Amino acid sequence: MSEDQNQTPNGADQELRHRVRNVFAVVSALIALSARRYPEASAFADELRGRVAALARAHAFIRPHLDGAQGKAGPSNLHGFLAELLRPYADEGGGRVSITGDDAVFDDQAATAIALLFNELAANAARHGALSRAGGRVRLSTRRRGDRLALTWAEHGGPPLDRGRRRPGFGFALIDLSVDQLDGTLARRWRREGLEATVDVPASALSRRRPAGGTSEDVRGSLSTTGR
């Protein structure tokens, strides 16, 4: 059997994946329908649907892959995933949201946290930050240092920051929770041109699933550099 065939899910697996993805669509529609009778809840419903959509994208991106007899999802490419996740906020030329730096692989266990983290940053930028302005943009850069990966979200061209509005909401709590889940640290800087947030995570947090008996070499090998 070729490697390609090895990575193709069987019919039952594929069917299950399709059904799970459909469940996300049903949940999202249920939220919207439930909120219809409560116009005051529409902003809440929009935020919640955005989060459900981020989870759905995370689920959709994890590469179908049969890991031996386990049938687990295999590792995925981080830049590709971030591009897909941020697609609703991007423009055709790619100038509005750019992703550069060292790429890495991550697995299904890290996908939820990564999706929620960057969905919140993007949604916040779209509501209050650089992505709320026509000329605003976000540069997301990733940099590997030893066995750590730093992801920097830098907004440019946004409205002047409203210092009175810095009271952290649930979105920021969700960001903190996601960073914790990745065993990472978060540094936020409120610059004149917009928020700069740097998330620093250990490589091992991106690829937790390893074959039993995996060594630290596996962890180091899980980050790959694809150039800048």
| 150: Cβ contacts below 8 Å, ≥ 6 apart | 142, 143, 144, 198, 199, 200
Name which position in 28, 124, 142, 178 contacts another protein (CB under 8 A).
28
* Closest to 192 (Cα-Cα) out of 129, 98, 117: 129
The SS3 call for residue 80 is: helix
**Contact region with another protein (CB under 8 A), list: 13-21, 73-81, 130-138, 141-149:** 13-21
C-beta of 19 vs 163, nearer to another protein: 19
- CA gap 82, 141 in Å, rounded: 11
Decide: 153 and 138 in contact? Cβ < 8 Å.
yes
Measured between alpha carbons, how far is 228 from 56 in angstroms, rounded to an integer?
29
Residue pair 223/150 in contact by the 8 Å Cβ criterion: no
CA distance 130 to 192: 11
Name which of 56 and 197 has its Cβ closer to another protein: 56
Minimum distance of another protein from residue 216's CB (angstroms): 35
24 binds another protein (CB under 8 A): yes
Q: Of the candidates 13, 46, 67, 176, which one interacts with another protein according to CB under 8 A?
A: 46
Q: How far is the CB of 116 from another protein (least distance, A)?
A: 15
State the nearest-atom distance from the C-beta of 92 to another protein, in Å.
Answer: 6
Smallest distance, another protein to C-beta of residue 140, A:
16
Nearer to another protein, 78 or 131 (CB): 131
Shortest Å, Cβ 23 to another protein: 8
Please say whether the beta carbons of 152 and 197 come within 8 A.
yes
63 forms part of the interface with another protein (CB under 8 A): no
Nearer to another protein, 9 or 202 (CB): 9
The rounded distance, in Å, linking the Cα atoms of 176 and 103 is 23
Please, which residues bridge with residue 148 across strands? 145, 202
Q: Tell me which of 71, 74, 88, 202 binds another protein, using CB under 8 A.
A: 88
- Residues 90-109 within binding reach of another protein (CB under 8 A): 90-92
Cβ distance to another protein smaller for residue 24 or 106: 24
